[in-house]
Amino acid sequence: MAILIIAEHDNAVLKAATLNTITAASQIGDECHLLVAGSNCSAVAEQGAVVTGVTKVLLVDNSAYEYQLAENTSKLVTELAPSYSHILSAATTTGKNFMPRVAALLDVAQISDIIKIESENTFQRPIYAGNAIATVESLDSIKVITVRGTAFDAATTSDSNAPIETLSIVHDAKVSEFVSEEVAVSERPELTAAKVIISGGRGMGNGENFTLLESVADKLGAAVGASRAAVDAGFVPNDMQVGQTGKIVAPDLYIAVGISGAIQHLAGMKDSKIIVAINKDEDAPIFQVADYGLVADLFEVLPELTDKL
Amino acid sequence: MKILVTVKRVIDYNVKARVKADNSDVDLANTKMALNPFCEIAVEEAIRLKESGAATEVVVVSIGPKACQEQIRTSLALGADRGIQIETDTMPESLNVAKLLAKVVEVEQPGLIIMGKQAIDSDNNQTGQMLAALLDIPQGTFASKVELVDEKVHVTREVDGGLQTVALNMPAIVTTDLRLNEPRYASLPNIMKAKRKPLAVQTPEDLGVQMKTHTQLVKVEAPTERKAGIKVNSIEELIEKLQNEAKVI
């Protein structure tokens, strides 16, 4: 049976996390359908049609799906589900929001945040902040799965052009409504898509000092992240948080500045290719996972780093 | 309005989980256990709503072996009014937890259900959403702000790109994120008082819930550990290594 992938998008652009999910789906089976549910979102369907691995795009265009409210999207996906063996979405805040509802409506489990596919019904996923890896076998007829993006390569585009089928299925529960959003605007790359990330922790002292990281980030084309300690202290907003309950990242280069290295933070970045730690405490646990450690006062060395790059 | 809060007993967040030698599961013997941090935030939010006059009663429910009564008592010491334990031998799968909670909701009829967004042991982030689906009610997940406006609850959600605010009909489910509030500490007099607050014990059979097995844990392994690298002595050396050895800049 075919696999259904739920596309993440803002009605204009297909989000990168979906490309990783498509790769995961392709490892399970050959027939992969991409559901694009939104409002005035045909551009997203066209972007999905040329992604390698996608064999059909299902386009559902209705104002009920404009903000992908979980109450509506979950009912749409549940209605489509019986034709599929697997339903996959990225383990982003969007996927995490509606997918468990789909699982409950289908009376099946959700396998969250998978990092490896062992077979069509057996998957690996991190538990306990990544301090253990569980291999889980699903006994359900329909597998509802969210996929950790950093564990799978992004699918590329190809010359093929999958057919786009338009469906008119409307589920408008009218029990929830979108009020407003504050989207963080940044010239820098998104955390989950960045090749280089520089993050600050409690050692930054305050929010203003994050400009020291931003100067380095501008030189490297990097994204700026933060530890939970820095978020809890109110230095920076939560959407910058890297860790167990924040964003999971795996860039080529991760520079941790003034971050001690609590297990919750390591859970979000330890799959990075190269880790650099700058901390004045030489016993900080972050040095145990760092490829290159520099024991130094960040306020002295960050301006120097900016100058010399 | 009554508020129902769910709490889970989990490994203390400062303790690093160890995998059993036979790879059957994580070893929790003699491990310090605590109230799941996100559940603690949920309890705090409910108590604040009661203190503001918006809620009249806060009921705390936990599922698991008898030991989870400790976490219910902790919540009562923080200010919840009464507790319900649903006694099970082991920790049920999320969907079974949601089914048990749905039965409690049917009986208690709360106006608002506040839950942690995820437990730091299984890291599933799903029970609240599943419960909302079973009850066919709206949800506000990953909340950083909860406001009662007219007959609705406005929830500001921490999403990947920033913040999103939704308005939900009630009853509704809210799952908490870190910045929603800073939980208080229980005072000694309140800890003493909590011992006398009512705590009812029920079983899945009492609630008429058939527990199903949806997944099987095949094995649990320790992740491949990263090895510590080298210490560099200066920024020049660091840049040189990143350019010529690691080739990442």
Give contacts of B214 with chain A, Cβ < 8 Å.
Answer: 108-109, 138-140
Give percent above pLDDT 90 in chain A: 93
pLDDT tens digits, one per residue of A58-76: 999 999 999 999 999 999 9
Contacts of B223 in chain A (CB under 8 A): 126, 130-133
Class of domain B2-223 (CATH, top level): alpha beta
Domain A2-166 in CATH 3.30.1600.10? The answer is no
Domain ranges across chain A:
2-166, 191-308
What is the per-residue pLDDT for A187?
85
Residues of A within 8 A of B233 (CB-CB) are: 294
Other Cβ atoms closer than 10 A to A40 = 12
pLDDT in tens, B132-146: 999 999 999 999 999
Question: A97 vs B141: CB contact, 8 Å cut-off?
Answer: yes
Mean pLDDT of A80-97: 98
Contact between A85 and A1 (Cβ < 8 Å): yes
Of A102, A220, A292, the CB nearest to B230: A292
Report, as an integer, the average pLDDT of B20-29.
Answer: 96
Assigned architecture for domain A191-308: 3-Layer(aba) Sandwich (3.40)
Mean pLDDT of B209-232: 94
Return the H-helix or E-strand segment holding A24. helix A16-28
pLDDT at A68: 95
Global confidence as pTM? 0.94
Span B70-87, pLDDT tens digits: 999 999 999 999 999 999
Chain B: closest CA distance from residue A19 (Å):
17
Interval B228-238 mean pLDDT: 95
Query: The complex's ipTM?
Result: 0.95
User: Going by DSSP bridges, is the β-strand pair B57-64/B2-7 parallel, antiparallel, or unpaired?
Assistant: parallel
DSSP A130: G
Pairing, β A122-127 against β A116-119 = antiparallel
Interface probe with A: pick from B160, B169, B219, B221, most Cβ of A within 10 Å: B160
Query: Cβ neighbours of residue A148 under 8 Å, at least 6 residues apart?
Result: A91, A113, A114, A115, A125, A126, A248
**Closest-CA residue of chain B to A174:** B169
Report CB contact under 8 Å: A305, B169: no
The predicted model gives B118-132 an average pLDDT of: 97
Give the pLDDT confidence of A20-67 residue by residue, as tens digits.
999 999 999 999 999 999 999 999 999 999 999 999 999 999 999 999
Q: Is the pLDDT of residue B159 over 90?
A: yes
Q: What is the pLDDT of residues B6-18, one digit of tens each?
A: 999 999 999 999 9
Beta carbons of B216 and A136 less than 8 Å apart: yes
Instruction: Summarize the confidence of residues A186-199 as an average pLDDT.
Output: 91
B128: nearest CA in chain A? A100
Q: How confident is the model at residue B155, as a pLDDT?
A: 98
A195-to-A18, A80, A189, A291, B99 alpha-carbon distances in Å: 18, 36, 9, 17, 42
Angstrom distances, CA of residue A46 to CA of A58, A153, A169, B162: 11, 21, 20, 27
| Cα–Cα distance for residue pair B201/B177, rounded to 1 Å | 29
Domain A2-166 identical in fold to domain A191-308:
yes
Residues A130-147 have a mean pLDDT of 97
d(CA A111, CA B215): 9
A159 pLDDT tier (thresholds 50, 70, 90): confident
Question: What is the C-alpha separation between B97 and B88, in angstroms, rounded?
Answer: 10
